[in-house]
Amino acid sequence: MLSKKTKYGIKALAFIAKQPGKIPVQASEIARSENISQKFLESILLELRKSGFLGSKKGKGGGYYLIKEPEEIRMTAIIRVLEGPISMVPCVSLNYYEKCEDCESEETCSVHALMIQVRDSTLKVLGDNTLADLVIEEE
Amino acid sequence: MLSKKTKYGIKALAFIAKQPGKIPVQASEIARSENISQKFLESILLELRKSGFLGSKKGKGGGYYLIKEPEEIRMTAIIRVLEGPISMVPCVSLNYYEKCEDCESEETCSVHALMIQVRDSTLKVLGDNTLADLVIEEE
DNA sequence: TTAATAACCTACTAACCCGATAGGGTAATG
DNA sequence: CATTACCCTATCGGGTTAGTAGGTTATTAA
């Protein structure tokens, strides 16, 4: 299950990407438009800024803006930052690998091979889609 | 993320499917072999019995056994029972659909279309794999 | 018939995480 | 210098997860 945090983060990024020009978008505006708790959204935007997706500008007329082009931002990157691992099990995660306590070996684990298949198919979809694709579909 | 419950459940089913013949397998044996808390496993096996995957026999020589052939048990069915929805978001779930509170319409939601793609690719993998496939890979 | 076995059932709990709220501080603009 | 809007920390209720505890019931073998 996708957390609200990730969902809100994606929606916010899409909202910003959708704006004409490169003018900063305020958190309050996004919160209003997308029905998100403003404070909660602020913390998400902050995280997206710290991880290099967004730039920010303080004061009047300030807000958040994309640093890279929407076409360059893969959904895998966004989700990994906000949600964490894409895999359903840590033992098949590429970026957040963790060994299982209960499994003696990954070769004999019946779940392992299956979860690799799921991971790869999900990765394909999320890697093929960029932020630009989300915006296009919206119009 | 897959819960331990689901993971243990799949492993247990694979363990039972792997047994030669149709003799019942005891929960204690599965728990020992797979390093699972026995009591926790019992509750999972019980659920799998109630949902029609397993039969059981009490008393000495008792245990759990598969009701259907491993080839007939799709991974989607197992996961839906133990884990719940396969989709990452309730608003694209086929079996556990729920409307989003924050979204005004699903057509304009930037997340929606993406999550349908993820759902379909995951569904393909889990629908193509049966319990029999897990056992084969183990050998 | 009785003892052992193993499934079945109910209740509880510690730990954890999520989503949100509270209450500010800091920097930039006009 | 006042307003704006980002920035930061702390906290918290509610829910879920993974497990533990302590039994009851049904079946089988001695």
Question: Would the CA dihedral through A121, B116, A80, B75 be positive or negative?
Answer: negative
Task: Indicate the residue of B1, B110, B138 with minimum beta-carbon distance to A11.
Answer: B110
**H or E, element range at A64:** strand A63-66
Name which of B102, B117, B133 is nearest A36 (Cβ-Cβ). B102
**Which nt has its C1' nearest the CA of B3?**
D17
Neighbours of A32 (CB within 10 A): 11
Specify which residues A74 forms β-bridges with.
A130
User: Considering only A15-19, A120-124, A134-138, B129-133, which range has the smallest mean pLDDT?
Assistant: A134-138
Residue B36 tokens read as 């699972």
The CATH classification of domain B4-66, taken from the options 1.10.20.140, 1.10.10.10, 3.40.1190.10, 1.10.150.120: 1.10.10.10
pTM: 0.94
Segment B87-97, tens digit of pLDDT? 999 999 999 99
User: Could you tell me the sign of the dihedral formed by the alpha carbons of A26, B104, A138, A2, in that order?
Assistant: positive
**A55 sits within 7 Å of strand D by its CB:** no
Q: Where in chain B is the domain with CATH 1.10.10.10?
A: 4-66
Could you say which nucleotides of strand D lie within 7 A of any protein CB atom?
3-10, 17-22, 25-29
Are the C-beta atoms of residues B74 and B126 closer than 8 Å to each other?
yes
pLDDT of residue A21: 75
> Over the stretch B1-37, which tens digit does the pLDDT of each residue have?
999 999 999 999 999 999 987 899 999 999 999 999 9
Q: Do B104 and A134 make contact, defined as CB atoms within 8 angstroms? A: no
